[in-house]
Structure 1
Amino acid sequence: MTPRVRVLIVDDQELVRAALRAMLRRTVVDVVGEAVDGARAVEAAYELRPDVVLMDVRMPGATGVEATERILRDWPHPGPRPRVLVLTTFDLDEYVYAALRAGASGFLLKNTTPRRLVDAITEVAAGEATLAPTVTRRLVRAFSGLPPPLLPGGPGGTPGPGRQDSPLSALTRREADVAHLVARGLSNAHIAEALGLGEAGVKSAVNRILTRLGLTNRVQIAILVLTAENGGTHPTR
């Protein structure tokens, strides 16, 4: 049985909060509370201890970025901190970078589909990271020009025998297929459907990719794949 995910919705517009509640009803998500601004979001998160905070960016008073930073930095409980998934109308770079610097695990736009939103919530609740595809592509451009990471297979980043310069050459064909679908923003369930695999097999493949390439989350996989496709340098770890 799929575990339930407890979510706190933070948005200053009542209509948006109501729409999100209706969208998430009859899914694996339980909406445990709401907040109308950043300051109340911090209070509600401390009180309700949700698994995921669905956070707007532009709100009166404390912004979603400020609230994210306070929740994660000053968490008063011994248990794990909630994950923050930013959901906003605005995809301006300043908000993306600020949210990720504050510790957000994901960044989606409000024009995302209901299924993708639920997938993103469950992904970040499980410790993954997720970004809207358009956001990932801009991050690739931001990372271009940075030095490449150490490549698997040889000391000092030197590729092993018979390998190409790209660290993606360290992957098996199946792992490369999974990596490219991760870069397209697909969830494990969608990747499994596309490749005719079990969802557990996809999760194992993602874990192997992270280990082989020395990465920590699927956002970094996406950046690496898109950078390689664009002929740029590789993002740092």
Structure 2
Amino acid sequence: MRSLAFALSLLTVVPVPAAAPDARVAAGALRWAPVVGALLGAVAGGVLLGLAALGVPALVAGLLTVGFLALATRGMHLDGLADTADGLGCYGPPERALAVMRDGGAGPFAVVTLVVVLGAQAAALAALTGTGTTAVAALALAGATGRAGFTWVARRGVPAARPGGLGALVAGSQPWWVPVGWWTALAAAGLALGPRAAVGVLLAAALVIALSRHTRRRFGGMTGDVLGAASELATAVTLIALST
């Protein structure tokens, strides 16, 4: 339960009391992350349906729902996506890329990546506004799939790219079968929404695997920013598959 409490306090704005984590609790929190993601997605689905019921145009409803999710997660995953994009976009050795990621500013790669990924998410949500309660299940699946990528990025054998921070705390903490188990379960659950949902989960998994491989080579390991990037990209891919 300490791991679940830490996952809620870290990944949402819900004021859940949680003590400072050790490596074991933080590793457990990553395994709980898909559950937290499903809860966030379900709530966001309710927001989307509520906006649609009020007559808000579909694309505006999609954008506002994306904004709600950013607020509900303190924008943490978006910050990770932006920093990862800037790190991958710069020249030089891993130390140079890590310095760019620590800078805190948003460079052109970060801006373009955020516009494209958030725009794709909003457009996919707009397409789901006419599906009724199916939209709630779709967002729950996408939210869980996005967070399942955490456990692959932090799998055993992948070192931390730099000391300190969440990345160093959870690096190498997850057996390979944890993300594989989550992706398999989510793909199976997605079949209830149709084969495209299951395909979306598998495509999201493939993207996370490719991202983890590339960032490990580029940065010399994983960072907390890569966790956020994996989550946002996997969520986007799943939503796109569900909306087509």
Judge same fold: TM > 0.5, yes or no. no
More strand by share: 1
TM-score scaled by structure 2? 0.26
Asked which structure has the greater RCO (Cα within 8 Å, sep 6+), the reply is 2
Larger Rg: 1
TM-score scaled by structure 1? 0.27
More helix by share: 2
